[in-house]
């Protein structure tokens, strides 16, 4: 899988900015980080009653609640998910240790321009004229090689935490997949690539660690610009500093407030395709804070690299033709690297027969 994912990006390399900033040394926001127009959509004020659904996955009606959240929000938070609190604390600690290293030390594990793993800017940076107030570290497969560069003496204990976290997240992702698919009336026979045990054992994944340092002028800065994920689903652990926002149709940007012990789950483009647009991928972004440091760890979950994802046949009919052509995750990542938020439109076959624009057409999102 690592080589396959890397192949998707080789034709679209992203250079690490030659003047990649040490954020802690900056007292003012440089012009290269000033976003004069943050977005065309309004922000939902904190007093609004709009809030992302919070769902107990042990609730007997969890699949119904999750289905409704997928259809109306494209994102939800889960509790009683089975991930030990200590493991969440440990992965947060690894992330803090990594991003607190001296800049020159972090650059020893820099991601290559045509690679996937390592330290660097967000891949979407190339679509925007301004830089984002964040730094990231991507892990695909084993982090051993990079962690040896970062912690020559202590890499082993950090690798063990990453391995344990990925193992637990993979189990949770499979569980969430069946809750989501079950809400659509989909069963094991309908998803051949789920495997004979229906545990998605061949699934692919990547881990993305994100750091959003305190910012001297947060109103003019952007932590991570608006985008959808190129996944089936993404499971996000965030520390207790808010910053994640999702776009709610008819409302604007809604902040996903951190809930102690809860994880954020958002629908990605591949599940959007699999559901034939019934469960839209959610446009989201990360804002920054003047005094508080924000950290997030995203588990990016996708199908086996060689599997073609297309609208499920059980969801199709004379009045519900397939809206998207079959595509592998590898191919779609290449499309996303080239076309960004227009990627879904690039694999779309037709518009819905009701004449409405696809609910998740992000062509109108400004990227300049």
From the list 250, 249, 260, 305, the residue with the least C-alpha distance to 75 is: 249
Please identify which residue in the block is written with the tokens 């959240």. Answer: 69
**Which residues on adjacent β-strands are paired with residue 223?**
none
Sign of CA dihedral 65, 68, 72, 75: positive
Q: Is 294 a catalytic residue?
A: yes
d(CA 17, CA 35): 17
Q: Provide long-range contacts, Cβ within 8 A and 24+ apart, for 196-203.
A: 199/174, 200/170, 200/173, 200/174, 200/303, 202/303, 202/304, 202/307, 203/170, 203/173, 203/174, 203/301, 203/302, 203/303, 203/304
Which helix or strand (DSSP H or E) is residue 150 part of?
helix 144-150
Given phi > 0 = left and psi -120 to 50 = alpha, else beta, which region is 104?
alpha
Helix (H, G, I), strand (E, B) or coil at 216: coil
From the list 41, 150, 162, the residue with the least C-alpha distance to 99 is: 150
- From 294, 325, 348, 364, active-site residue: 294
Please identify which residue in the block is written with the tokens 């809400």. Answer: 183
Active site residues: 294
């Amino acid at each position: 899988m690592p080589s396959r994912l890397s192949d998707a990006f080789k034709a679209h390399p992203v250079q690490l900015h030659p003047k990649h900033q040490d954020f802690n040394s900056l007292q003012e926001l440089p012009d290269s980080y000033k976003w004069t127009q943050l977005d065309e959509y309004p922000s939902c004020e904190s007093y609004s009653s709009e809030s992302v659904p919070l769902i107990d996955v042990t609730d007997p009606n969890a699949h119904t609640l999750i289905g409704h959240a997928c259809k109306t929000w494209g994102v939800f938070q889960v509790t009683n998910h089975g991930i030990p609190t200590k493991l969440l604390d440990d992965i947060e600690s690894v992330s803090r240790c990594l991003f607190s290293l001296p800049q020159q030390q972090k650059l020893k594990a820099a991601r290559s321009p045509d690679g996937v793993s390592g330290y660097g800017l967000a891949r979407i940076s190339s679509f925007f004229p301004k830089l984002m107030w964040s730094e990231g570290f991507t892990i695909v497969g084993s982090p051993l090689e990079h962690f040896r560069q970062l912690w020559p003496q202590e890499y082993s204990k950090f690798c063990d935490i990453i391995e344990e976290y990925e193992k637990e997240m993979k189990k949770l992702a499979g569980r969430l997949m069946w809750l989501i698919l079950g809400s659509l009336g989909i069963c094991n026979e309908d998803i051949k690539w789920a495997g004979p045990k229906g545990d998605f054992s061949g699934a692919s994944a990547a881990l993305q660690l994100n750091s959003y340092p305190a910012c001297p002028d947060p109103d003019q800065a952007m932590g991570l610009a608006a985008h959808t994920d190129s996944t089936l689903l993404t499971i996000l652990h965030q520390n207790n500093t808010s910053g994640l926002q999702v776009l709610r149709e008819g409302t604007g940007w809604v902040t996903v407030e951190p809930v102690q012990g809860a994880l954020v789950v958002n629908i990605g483009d591949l599940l959007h395709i699999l559901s034939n647009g019934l469960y839209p991928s959610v446009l989201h972004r990360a804002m920054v804070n003047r005094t508080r440091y924000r950290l997030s760890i995203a588990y990016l979950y996708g199908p086996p690299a060689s599997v073609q994802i297309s609208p499920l046949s059980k969801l199709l009919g004379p009045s519900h033709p397939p809206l998207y052509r079959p595509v592998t995750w590898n191919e779609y990542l290449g499309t996303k690297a080239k076309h960004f938020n227009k990627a879904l439109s690039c694999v779309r076959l037709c518009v819905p027969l009701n004449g409405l624009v696809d609910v998740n057409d992000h062509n109108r999102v400004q990227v300049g």
